[in-house]
Structure 1
Amino acid sequence: DGATKLTAYVAPRASAEATGRPSPRHVGGTEALAARVRGMGGAAWALVVGINAYHHAERLNYAVADARAVAVALPGFGFETVRLLLDDEATKGNIERVIYGEFKERMKPEDRLFVFFAGHGISVRLPRGGEEGYLLPVDADPHRPELTAIAMDEIRKMGKRVNARHVFFAIDSCFSGFALTRDITPEIVTDLEIASALEEPVVQVLTAGRKGQKSIEEGGHGLFTRRLLDGLQGLADREGKGFVTVTQLAAWLSPRVARDSAGRQHPQYSALDGEGDFIFVLPHAKR
């Protein structure tokens, strides 16, 4: 049935003194806004995919460990439903069934959807110019991506087809396929922007790197995923408000991955549709 046993992963949480961040007491904005964010209505859904053992592509080392770590962390952020697909479970059919069947049929307009994918991504040159990016499920044939892989344009469509207000794809793969913003937004987001983000719909994507770059794996995890988890543990919450928007997360993560990889990996961000912003309420702020 695709159920997978999870093992616990706890990212180290740096103290306010060590990071220079304010304490989680909500600094720099109104308590009313902080309470409003913490009390966001709607359910939070997550699909987490990790693939090491590909049928027709090079094996990866830590994609499964990355997926497990993300899946274990998500309930702390208020995700009631976390579906984990690993290796042979992560077929194109199963991925689409979870999103379009299991999730879509039960979602409501105020809900949120987070999709994490750790695996291969490829870029294919198009006959009339340009390129198209694809995510490779475990059963994908890299030589026939149109038939067996998930096109990046399909990612945009997935986000628009589901009945969720906020949709965020975090993809630990490097490829091209649509315009991704290189100048990521500032790490500080105003209260007015956050209040607006709560109401406006959005589909956002954050990828591990550009075309031609490799997602670096070291220390038991991919660099992108390690920094993603660090940011969500609170390091991206520079004002200590108790929550992190995806634009803040992208702005915090991108330069650090570029630095830690000595310039070999540059995460890419884009809002594919809508004007809102996906918001993660940090575990320590839920009290």
Structure 2
Amino acid sequence: MADWALVIGINSYHRLRSLKYAERDGTLVRDFFANEAKFEQIFYYSDHSPEFIAPDGSSQHTQPTYANLLSFLVDFFEEPQLEPGDNFWFFFSGHGIRHQNRDYLMPSDVNPRAVEITAISINYITERLRRCGADNIVLLLDACRNEESKSGLGIGMETHQGVITISSCAPSEVSYEIQEIEQGAFTYALLESLRIQGEGNCATVERLYKRLRYRVTEINDYYGKPRQTPYAIAEPASKYHLILLPGQATEQDLATLREDAQDAELEGNFQLAEQLWTRVLALSPADPKALKALRRIWVKLEQTAKPPLSESIPELGNKSRTITPPRYSEEVPQSPLPQGILNLQSFKFDVVTV
């Protein structure tokens, strides 16, 4: 089970109110992923993050502009890099907005009067992240609601298939920075929760979410800030039981995961069942139930993939003719790139292990 992450922290905005601690939040999350959670690969974009060298020898900037972020999303996620059982984490600290019924994250050079072509929709981000090959995508969004929003709503209302999204506040609330701790309340509580050892740890999505909901409220109350309630959406709902920190998982966590896998198989959702049993096997490599279930599911998947048999349909005059139902090849539509991407220079990345 591998864990990769894309971390973004933005303080300085050209046309919006700059933030104080978003870049520091991003740095602290990156450091936790690298040094404590031991992630295999982390990509970091911030106001002062260092450049990296592309295969052609050119230096690539990691400042969180529209062009730099879109180039990464387009080039890096063109081919799968991970596999089922792996996790890809996406952390963002900066401005966000809900615009024309879509959620957007704001790069440093966003123009609030041209959101559609200078901000990046979360829908597009998740569509690209799903191409990485991992079957679990985790979005952690500490996004302050942009003051230009006329609707009064922040991000966090969208559902994304196969994705766990935890937003720093409810769509009608604001995400706050706390001067005394020099962090956003959400990111402070997030790192605190992920570090809990033993009983009461936050190894699963469900436990992490429950703790964030009351802990962020406590922090804001203590420092005199208005109410802020983290908001989560997991699709499908069984992802609430997924184990994020294997080293902290209990036997009960594994048992719950097995139950979800069995339920998915009984309901005929063989692809979800395969994903869940694969995760059980990654956590418990000799698990006999997982091994037997995966063999059984592979047989069922192979059977459902076979073409339909020919049917004989009677005709007038007691004759019969054979009709073979046509075989359709379903192509996955390519999502259109946001405007402005056609002029970007494309490049590929060397994978650097942290």
TM-score, normalization by structure 1:
0.67
State the Cα deviation string for residues 118-154 of structure 1 (Å, max 9, x = none).
Answer: 0001122x3xxxx322110112111111111112322
Aligned to 2:244: 279
Q: Secondary structure at the match of 1:261?
A: helix
> Gapped runs of 5+ residues in structure 1?
1-40, 181-200
Aligned to 2:307: none
Q: Secondary structure at the match of 2:31?
A: helix
- 1:223 pairs with one of 167, 171, 185: 185
Per-residue deviation, 1:216: 1.2
Per-residue deviation, 1:210: 2.4
Aligned to 1:84: 44
State the Cα deviation string for residues 248-283 of structure 1 (Å, max 9, x = none).
Answer: 211111121123223521111011457433512458
More strand by percentage:
1
Aligned to 1:119: 94
- Letter of the aligned partner of 2:137 in structure 1? V
- 2:218 pairs with one of 259, 268, 281: 259
- 1:211 pairs with one of 143, 150, 171: 171
Per-residue deviation, 1:179: 4.5
Q: Secondary structure at the match of 1:57?
A: coil
**C-alpha contact 1:47 1:82 (8 A) present in aligned 2:** yes
Larger Rg: 2
Aligned mates of 2:38, 2:248 — CA distance in 1? 8
Aligned to 1:172: 142
Looking at both structures, which has the greater relative contact order when contacts are Cα pairs under 8 Å and sequence separation is at least 6?
Answer: 1
- 2:9 pairs with one of 44, 47, 50: 50
Q: Secondary structure at the match of 1:120?
A: strand
**In percent, how many aligned pairs have the same letter?**
29
Aligned mates of 1:61, 1:256 — CA distance in 2? 22
1:57-96 matched pairs, under 5 angstroms: 57-75=16-34, 76-87=36-47, 89-96=63-70
Q: Secondary structure at the match of 2:168?
A: strand
Aligned mates of 1:155, 1:103 — CA distance in 2? 10
**C-alpha contact 1:202 1:275 (8 A) present in aligned 2:** no
What value does the CA root-mean-square deviation take over the aligned residues? 2.8
TM-score, normalization by structure 2:
0.55
Aligned to 1:3: none
**C-alpha contact 2:142 2:168 (8 A) present in aligned 1:** yes
State the Cα deviation string for residues 159-214 of structure 1 (Å, max 9, x = none).
Answer: 4333111110101014136347xxxxxxxxxxxxxxxxxxxx94111111123432
Q: Secondary structure at the match of 1:172?
A: strand
